[in-house]
Amino acid sequence: MRQKQVQIQTQLDFIESCSKALTDHGCLILNYHTLADNNAYTISKIKALFAEVYLVDMVNGSNIMFCCKNTVPYSDEAISERAEALVQHVKIPLKYYYRQLQRL
């Protein structure tokens, strides 16, 4: 049990360092694998560091977490315009993932 606590604290220390390094409008994107026994604690600590936190539940069992220092316009119009241009470059179905976002 102690090893898990040290591992989680180390991860949280890294996330806190990233939060401090980001600009006011920066976002940290994490590949977040949940640990059932510490998930609520970890999420609460992350939410305390960031203004908004979103999660996309991936099919393979992991999650992509978007941790934003500032509030993000969360509307179809604002996102659609940016996503259309970006999709042309990255060839990833960004609108699909946008619809999967869950605000924590």
Give the tens place of pLDDT for each residue, 49-76: 999 998 888 777 778 888 999 887 666 6
**Among the listed residues 54, 87, 86, 56, the one whose alpha carbon sits nearest the alpha carbon of residue 71:** 54
| Region at 92 (left for phi over 0; alpha for psi -120 to 50; beta for the rest) | beta
* The predicted structure's pLDDT at residue 76: 62
- Average pLDDT over all residues of the chain: 79
Decide: 102 and 56 in contact? Cβ < 8 Å. yes
pLDDT at position 10 over 70: no
Q: Which of the two residues, 7 and 29, has the higher pLDDT score?
A: 29
Q: Is the dihedral of CA 4, 8, 9, 10 positive or negative?
A: positive
